[in-house]
Structure 1
Amino acid sequence: MLSPMLANEVERAVSRYLAVADRLLPGRISGFYVVGSVALGAWRAGRSDIDFVATVAGDLGERDLRRLALLHKAGNAPAAWRALARARPDVPGTLNGVFVAERDLGRPVTSLRPLASHSGPSFKRGRGFEANPVVWKVLLEKGVAVRGPAPGELGLDPEPGRLREWNLGQLHGHFATWAGRALSARPPRKPLQPAHQVALATVLSPPRLHHTIATGEVISKEAAAEYALDTFGPRWHPLLRLALARRLGLPAPAPGDARRVPRLVGEFVLEVIASADEK
């Protein structure tokens, strides 16, 4: 048993992933910490991914990096097969994470250069979005140690003084750009997912960042829905309830004219950004 804090499905998935990691890179994964929805108490079987931060002992050569890329595929094969068998366009249960050098853990997180990361279908060398003040705060305060010392013993520096700035940067960067596309004639879409589904999957992220800017605390997307219902006007409540129901896998009414959903979500995101600027 890895940890009493992990659900059985998470424990099995992490065990399989680490077994593959230890075959491909024996003795190199010195620490493994579960963050994200698992750490925040909002993980849902069959709907959520499993986010992690892994530490690596020593340097990684070219051969090691190729094996790390193979780990991304082989370690997540069970989740991919389950999604394929159910004809799902997404792959819930995927392990997504960032790999950092053990020796760099004490550095301020925004100056830390990850060794690699993978998320969804993407594997990146020398980069990792997850090495940021939000994830490091969750890691320090709520991260689940599967392998290695407790997070409080790692000497982490999440740079709390940069938390607001970082979240505002995400809103004005990624989400403002997304909103602009949502308001255009060609809103964002993904393979096998129509634009309105992509838009609904985006609704809860901006209010989550808004909450962190306002309070300094990090919450799950589910909690962000309740926060947004309390914070933003009734115009947005049907949209928020629909996004929450879909997040939880609960029956939800059809969104009416699906073609209008991306524009509505784009307008909501812009309102969240304007409100965050005032916090």
Structure 2
Amino acid sequence: MDTDVRRYLDDLVAVARTVLGDDLVGGYAAGSVGLGAYQPGRSDIDVALLCAEPIPDEAKRALVAGLRHEALPCPARGLELVVYRRAVAASGTAEPGFEVEVNTGARMAFRATYDPADRPVADGHFWYALDRSILHQCGHALLGPPAAEVFADVSPADLRRLLVDALGWWLALPTPAGDEPAPGAEDAVLGACRSLVRVRHGRWLAKTAAGRRVLADGDEAAPVIERAIAARLGGTPPSGPEARAFQQRVLDEVARAA
């Protein structure tokens, strides 16, 4: 793990401990850090904290204040942190179920949400259960038991429904209509590859690794996937229409699997 990231995660857990005390029972790196694919300058830092009991509003706000980039500078593009009660993490629910979440960073818009009911539906409610599924398989424990022991996976039916929702959400985002390379299209393509690998092979992989796994399957969209992988290293990304066509095909396959 990157030294700056390791130090930051240690400091983050210390801040959470100061605010939550003994109610803090776990801390886990998710996303690219948990998947062993952190890319300095590109990746976010994703963290899930576990608490034993519901968090009072005052403590939620104190935690957000202590973890804001202005108080604890994030060495990555930004921090995406979610706090769950231990019982929610163990339930396998498909619902958001969080206590509080915060996005903060030098290159990330600040956002704090103190109740799932305040999360706009248009922003997607599928993220949380999918993230907990990734944590179940790949979470890196910073504090507490191994992630697989505290995060239950969602059911196969819920997983497919959540992936369909996620792919539909991505497809609804505006993209350039022409054939010119579309910055960011690589993430759309490789994110779809990750969903496809989870459905076909039962494993969560980092985006680039997922793209290579789909290539190994002999996928007909190999040129688009190869460009998406190259773009992660500074190459030319696919066009918007190419990315959307691949995403739609993945969505159709995931929906059929249900």
TM bin (shorter chain): 0.7 to 0.9
Count of residues paired in the alignment: 241
SS in 1 for 2:36: coil
Q: Deviations over 1:120-177 (max 9, x none)?
A: 4322122375431x333332233221111223443x4322333223222322x31231
1:104 counterpart = 2:88:
yes
Q: How many Å apart are 1:242 and its aligned residue? A: 3.0
Q: How many Å apart are 1:112 and its aligned residue? A: 6.2
Is residue 94–residue 126 contact of structure 2 (8 Å, CA) maintained in 1?
no
Is residue 83–residue 99 contact of structure 2 (8 Å, CA) maintained in 1?
yes
Q: Deviations over 1:59-116 (max 9, x none)?
A: 322211221321341477423xx6xxxxxxxx52x33121012343332322562101
Runs of 4+ in 1 over 6 A off after TM superposition: none
The match for 2:121 is none
Instruction: Give the direction of change, closer, same or farther, for the CA distance of 1:8–1:111 in structure 2 (3 Å limit).
Output: same
The counterpart of 2:170, out of the listed 172, 175, 191, is 175
The match for 2:128 is 131
TM-score, normalization: structure 1? 0.73
Q: How many Å apart are 1:209 and its aligned residue? A: 0.7
The counterpart of 1:146, out of the listed 117, 142, 146, is 142
Distance 1:48 1:9 in 2: 13
Amino acid at match of 1:272: V
Distance 1:75 1:108 in 2: 34
1:22 counterpart = 2:17:
yes
Distance 2:148 2:139 in 1: 9
Instruction: Give the direction of change, closer, same or farther, for the CA distance of 1:76–1:274 in structure 2 (3 Å limit).
Output: farther
1:50 counterpart = 2:45:
yes
1:211 counterpart = 2:204:
no
SS in 2 for 1:149: coil
The match for 1:86 is none
The counterpart of 1:164, out of the listed 160, 163, 167, is 160
Distance 1:71 1:202 in 2: 32
Query: Where does structure 2 lack aligned partners over 5 or more consecutive residues?
Result: 117-124
Distance 2:70 2:93 in 1: 26
Is residue 55–residue 100 contact of structure 1 (8 Å, CA) maintained in 2?
yes
SS in 1 for 2:94: helix
The match for 1:122 is 111
Higher CA-based Rg = 1
Instruction: Give the direction of change, closer, same or farther, for the CA distance of 1:22–1:50 in structure 2 (3 Å limit).
Output: same
